Structure 1
Amino acid sequence: MFKEKNKKIYIAGHRGMVGGAIWNALVQKGYTNLIGKTSVELDLKSQKAVQLFFETEKPDIVVDAAARVGGILANNNFPYTFLMENMQIQNNLIQTSLEYGVSKFVFLGSSCIYPKSAPQPLQEDCLLTSPLEPTNQWYAIAKISGVKACEAIRKQFGKDFVSLMPTNLYGPNDNFDLQTSHVLPAMMRKFHEAKVKGNEPVTLWGSGAPMREFLHVYDMAAAVVYALENSLGEHLYNVGTGVDLTIKELAEKIQVAVGHKGKIIWDYTKPDGTPRKLMDVSKMKNKGWSATITLEDGIEATYQWFLKNEKTLKEVKI
């Protein structure tokens, strides 16, 4: 057990897929002094509201799992929203944590912070070495600013602020809204609905050739707990499996798990996005942490969760 288990841990975004998984992982390990606020209870975009919250609750440790997120379509359609809201959320949390003497801050980002044409697998030191993928640059730029803010705080103030960059995440409580979701949950819902309609053909974006890596959200939560219980020593760490596959292969795995028997049609008029995004996870592995959930097991478990919760899933608007 973490020697400072009685310290107050605030998980921003604790009702989301990632924040909820982190919350549950900490509870399962015996942590009890956890703080969470819904977006109605605390508007993280408001500096005044965040400062009042810190003054009242006085958290010792902060995990920033709050963000405006979405897939290619959402990023393309709402660039200012993704840029500004993410910067507002993270800037308020980072600055106020510094002001109120938070002892450890864990900032969660995304592999999209790395350049589109960076050498594979993606290493932490390739950050800011060449242009970003245009379709999600707005979100990426916001997250890069958060990473650099945490690095600057470490350098200037010697505080334990660390950034974890996960690869593509999926799992329970994912967003299955076809207008705003990421590729894996979007495919899962499309295959499921097509199966229900008599195994109708499923049309998917792009060529299916890009390669992606996927990490179950429970593994991501375990990585965050590991970061809380250990001093990692540097400011930036990739979190993933170190294994990728083509979007076409992903579609076939999801199709099998769902039980869809129809045809897959690839819409070549739609963008593919970054050709490949494989993470170099050697830094975290060398620190003692590795992912444990296979993609096949994770997809199957996620589909079973989807089936149990399909009727209560909400649309996620931007």
Structure 2
Amino acid sequence: MAADQWAGRTVMVTGGLGFVGSHFVEELLDMGADVLCLYRGERPEVLAELPAVPALRPLRVDLLDHEALRAAAATAPHIDAVLHCATLDGNMEFLLQQSGRMLDENMRMVSHVLNLARDRQIADVVLLSSAEIYSYDSTSPMREEDDHRRHMEYTPNGYRLSKMFTEVLAELYREQFGMKIYTPRPTNVYGPRDDFGTSTNHVIPNMLAKLHSGQDIEIWGDGSQTRTFIYVKDLVLAVLKMVEDGRFPTLNIGTDESVSIRDLAHLVAEAAGCSGQVRIDPDKPVGASRRALDLDNFYALLDFTPRSLKNGLRETVQWYQENLQRAI
């Protein structure tokens, strides 16, 4: 990566102690950037993993409070880029239970960040989007143009709606204010520092937590639904490259390695060195039966090779087991 393009720059990362945001903070510090790390919830264990250097300035801020966000940004005389990673998210069951809250809070956070960036004339703005924005009826693999401009549809999933409207707002701000706004669309992200401890966790940490506690891995639906995954550190490198390059305001981010949820359960068990049992629950919500992204632009941009799912799972399990030992 072109570390010299980030060295000496001041970057604001929202959700900076979160799963994805903390990896952006870590990578940017390694590249010599000054990082304004905004977070809402205390995560001292994550802060302890980040370098204790003067270039890191953690600030607790609720992004729903517009004035608090502006006050936090005012602590830096100049901000060169903002990476907006903060979001209210969760597994499919949590998404359906909290849809109204997700749409409301996620959109207000995006609006506050965009208006701050406009007023402060921040050169580069990244709004982390999601492959969830694509219609479940879209032809697979889905290209970047197969989005809200072609398939705008209602869904009871407030998270999906918030990502779609985030991209609509980004496009309108680009046109009206001439802002450089990037909306990367990652597939399912996994890796160290994910949420392993609550009912809101995603599929891979949920499987690991079940194995650790001696429970069966529960699969929603019949397990035939397929997904692709991207390791969190590879997502970070891809997004930073996206900004450095500047050609693609919107970019699919993932790998070609598609796997059924049933097969994923066995891969996770193998990585964890367990022989966990798999239990099918056909009554649980499953989302799309298949979601594959067209990655032509992604591979044209990359100057590195993303990890295979097997290697990424091995690194994730290693981190998970080491942190369990530290907690004992």
Query: Structure 2 length as normaliser, TM-score?
Result: 0.87
Q: CA RMSD in A?
A: 2.0
Q: Distance in 2 between matches of 1:291 and 1:156?
A: 37
Native 8 Å contact 2:191 2:232 kept in 1: yes
Q: Distance in 2 between matches of 1:105 and 1:260?
A: 42
Q: Distance in 2 between matches of 1:125 and 1:98?
A: 26
1:208 maps to amino acid = G
Q: After superposition, what is the alpha-carbon deviation per residue over 1:180-209, rounded to whole angstroms, capped at 9, x for unaligned? A: 011111111112222xxxxx6433221101
Aligned to 1:56, the other structure's residue is in SS state coil
Question: Who is 1:149 aligned against?
Answer: 169
> What's the CA shift for 1:36?
0.9
Question: Who is 1:316 aligned against?
Answer: none
Which ranges of structure 1 fall in alignment gaps of 5 or more residues?
195-199, 314-318
Structural mapping, 1:278-293, within 5 Å: 278-289=292-303, 291-293=305-307
Q: After superposition, what is the alpha-carbon deviation per residue over 1:195-245, rounded to whole angstroms, capped at 9, x for unaligned? A: xxxxx643322110100001000101111221232212x421111113211
> What's the CA shift for 1:4?
5.7
Q: After superposition, what is the alpha-carbon deviation per residue over 1:276-317, rounded to whole angstroms, capped at 9, x for unaligned? A: 11111211222335652110011111111111113678xxxx
Question: Who is 2:69 aligned against?
Answer: 50
Question: Who is 1:202 aligned against?
Answer: 217
Aligned to 1:67, the other structure's residue is in SS state coil
Q: Distance in 2 between matches of 1:214 and 1:4?
A: 27
Structural mapping, 1:20-169, within 5 Å: 20-29=22-31, 31-39=32-40, 41-57=60-76, 58-128=78-148, 129-130=150-151, 134=155, 137-169=157-189
Structural mapping, 1:129-278, within 5 Å: 129-130=150-151, 134=155, 137-194=157-214, 201-232=216-247, 234-278=248-292
Aligned to 1:204, the other structure's residue is in SS state strand
Q: 1:68 to 1:103 in 2, by over 3 A?
A: same
Q: After superposition, what is the alpha-carbon deviation per residue over 1:110-168, rounded to whole angstroms, capped at 9, x for unaligned? A: 11111111111121111123466946x21111111221222222222322111101110
Native 8 Å contact 1:54 1:100 kept in 2: no
Aligned to 2:213, the other structure's residue is in SS state helix
Q: After superposition, what is the alpha-carbon deviation per residue over 1:48-77, rounded to whole angstroms, capped at 9, x for unaligned? A: 112222333241210111111111011011
Aligned to 1:203, the other structure's residue is in SS state strand
Q: 1:311 to 1:69 in 2, by over 3 A?
A: farther
Aligned to 1:121, the other structure's residue is in SS state coil
Q: 1:5 to 1:88 in 2, by over 3 A?
A: same
Q: Distance in 1 between matches of 2:245 and 2:313?
A: 30
1:83 maps to amino acid = L
Aligned to 2:135, the other structure's residue is in SS state coil
Q: Distance in 2 between matches of 1:99 and 1:280?
A: 35
**Larger deviation, residues 65-74 vs 260-269:** 260-269
Native 8 Å contact 1:212 1:245 kept in 2: yes
Native 8 Å contact 1:147 1:236 kept in 2: no
Which ranges of structure 2 fall in alignment gaps of 5 or more residues?
42-59
What count of residue pairs does the alignment treat as equivalent? 305
Aligned to 1:119, the other structure's residue is in SS state coil
Query: Structure 1 length as normaliser, TM-score?
Result: 0.89
